[in-house]
Amino acid sequence: MTKGHVHKLEISDLSLELDGRTILDGISLDIHHGETVCILGGSGAGKSMLLRTIVRLHEPTKGRILLDGEPVTAMDPSTLRRRVSLVQQSPAMLEGTVEDNLRFGLELAGIEPGVIKERIDASLKAAALDEGFLGRRAEKLSGGERQRVAIARAHTLCPEVFLLDEPTAALDPRRMMEVERAIKGLKGDANFMMIIVTHDVEQARRLGDRTVLMRRGRIIAEGDSGSLIEDLDPEERALYMGELVYMEHEHKEGDLNE
């Protein structure tokens, strides 16, 4: 499933205002081919809105997003979203089977039947799913299974950039680890770059090569995923961890009974 790839995603002085509120405020960030960057922050930090702005679900008020120097605003949105794939926190499934969901985008793109089978097989493997999933009804999948199918579905189209928005929010520990295993399968491919939004410090350490900390629409720190939180000054670390603990409590209160 090789394809041309983006060498660099460049976000420069990006701002977004909605209904008179500043959602993103001067975000600048470079991400390189093969790199996995985790975006960590509490509720309202702007993490998910950053991903949505990258794929032009929102148009920025100021600043630029470039793929190898080409502004995303110059790209047709459908073309952009084939190159940059966003897997949302609660991914929608089409009616029918898992195989129907994996085939849909490929058939829409006019991919040959033999190639469709190859891509589905490769994507199942990448997302840590076996062929037994293909015949299952998509609407009957658990939350963790839906996430893995959504990851596989995005993978079939060979995106150059993967955006994962809170992929394990409200999942129990076993299902969280299943989804993380699927994400690690994607990292093993390494033919693209990946951005993962999370509120979980330990998840960022497990999955990210680099972590970016956001608060109130701004990047407040970035660095190695293994040491970034510890490297903050004590006052900043206490404030930041307090925000994350509060968000973790919110997720547990709203557990989906998976």
Tens digits of residue pLDDT in 156-207: 988 999 999 999 987 888 889 988 988 988 877 667 899 999 988 889 999 9
Name the nearest CA neighbour of 243 among 203, 212, 214: 214
Tokens of 114: 């033999």
Domain residue extents for the chain: 8-91+161-253
Name the nearest CA neighbour of 145 among 179, 120, 174, 121: 179
Structure confidence at residue 218 as a pLDDT band (50, 70, 90): very high
- With tokens 């922050």, the residue in question is 41
> The domain 8-91+161-253: what is its CATH number?
3.40.50.300
Cα–Cα distance measured from residue 112 to residue 130, given in angstroms and rounded to the nearest whole number? 22
Strands 70-71 and 62-67, how do they pair?
A: antiparallel
| Per-residue pLDDT tens digits for 50-86 | 999 999 999 999 999 999 999 999 999 988 998 999 9
pLDDT at residue number 71: 96
**189-226 burial, b for 16+ CB within 10 Å, e for fewer?**
bebbbbbbbbbbbebbbbbbbbbbbbbebbbebbeebe
Q: What is the mean pLDDT of the chain?
A: 87
